[in-house]
Amino acid sequence: MRVLLVEDDPVVGPDLVQALTEAGFVVDLSCDGEDAWYRGDVEDYVLAVLDLGLPKLDGLSVLKRWRSEGRDFPVLILSARSDWTEKVEGIQAGADDYVAKPFAMGELVARARGLVRRAAGYASAVLAVGRVTLDTGRIAATVDGRSIRLSPLEYRFLDLLVHRPGRFLGVTEIAEHLHGTDDAVDANAIEALVLRLRRKVGPDVIESRRGFGYMIAGS
């Protein structure tokens, strides 16, 4: 699933990209507020991790613009300042969570996963849709209680479908969440991925409809 990371620190930014990528996210990194505001306005993200101290446009202004324009994806604020009044201001502007620097990378990843999970309507780290169950903490999948060994790409695809229950996802949306904007992925590549997954999870677990896309059967 695709995440927007807004961080201008040349050390913290790459470390966060690595941690979020290892957690199964596809990460777009933005290093200034104007670029972040534009990306969040026109692209489809499941989460934004937003630093407040940014060049060109501060993070709080970015957040206020997103919310005023109806962008409702969860936002996790990062800040080197721990003043409680700033936290209140961020929450009032539309932030969903707040982490003060320095932070433990594991805590940030856990909070990010929690925000994405709750936005999809799940209260637990174990997600069940149809015959599929994902343990997002362990990054493990089962079908009908049977453990399934998946590649990272296969897991991300299944994770995306589970977080979008009840609706078909088209090829363009799937490609953006699996690969980001820089990699062109055609319908044949997505179809090949689905075929590989069906060999592992069963032929009727992933439903497809021509012209509409894919979803988890029974969701």
Domain 2-119, second-level architecture: 3-Layer(aba) Sandwich (3.40)
**Residue 180 backbone class (left: φ over 0; alpha: ψ -120 to 50; beta: rest):** left
Outline which parts of the chain fall under CATH 3.40.50.2300: 2-119
Residue range 39-66, pLDDT digits in tens: 999 999 999 999 998 999 999 999 999 9
Q: How far is CA 31 from the centre of its chain?
A: 19
- The pLDDT value recorded for residue 110 is 92
- The pLDDT value recorded for residue 4 is 97
The amino acid that residue 60 corresponds to is L
Residue range 140-181, pLDDT digits in tens: 999 999 999 999 999 999 999 999 989 999 988 898 888 775
Mean pLDDT over the full length of the chain:
91
Choose the CATH number for 126-216 among 1.10.760.10, 1.10.10.10, 3.30.360.10, 3.40.640.10. Answer: 1.10.10.10
Residue range 96-114, pLDDT digits in tens: 999 988 889 999 999 999 9
Residue range 180-208, pLDDT digits in tens: 754 556 778 889 999 999 999 999 999 99
Has residue 79 got a pLDDT over 50?
yes
- The pLDDT value recorded for residue 211 is 87
Hey, is 11 helix, strand or coil? coil
Q: How far apart are CA 178 and CA 24, in angstroms?
A: 9
**Contact present, 76 and 96 (Cβ < 8 Å):** yes
- The pLDDT value recorded for residue 83 is 67
Outline which parts of the chain fall under CATH 1.10.10.10: 126-216
- The pLDDT value recorded for residue 24 is 87
Residue range 7-40, pLDDT digits in tens: 999 999 999 999 999 988 999 999 999 999 999 9
> Where do the DSSP E strands lie in the chain?
2-6, 26-30, 47-51, 75-79, 97-100, 126-129, 132-135, 140-143, 146-148, 206-209, 213-216
Has residue 123 got a pLDDT over 80?
yes
**Contact present, 2 and 29 (Cβ < 8 Å):** no
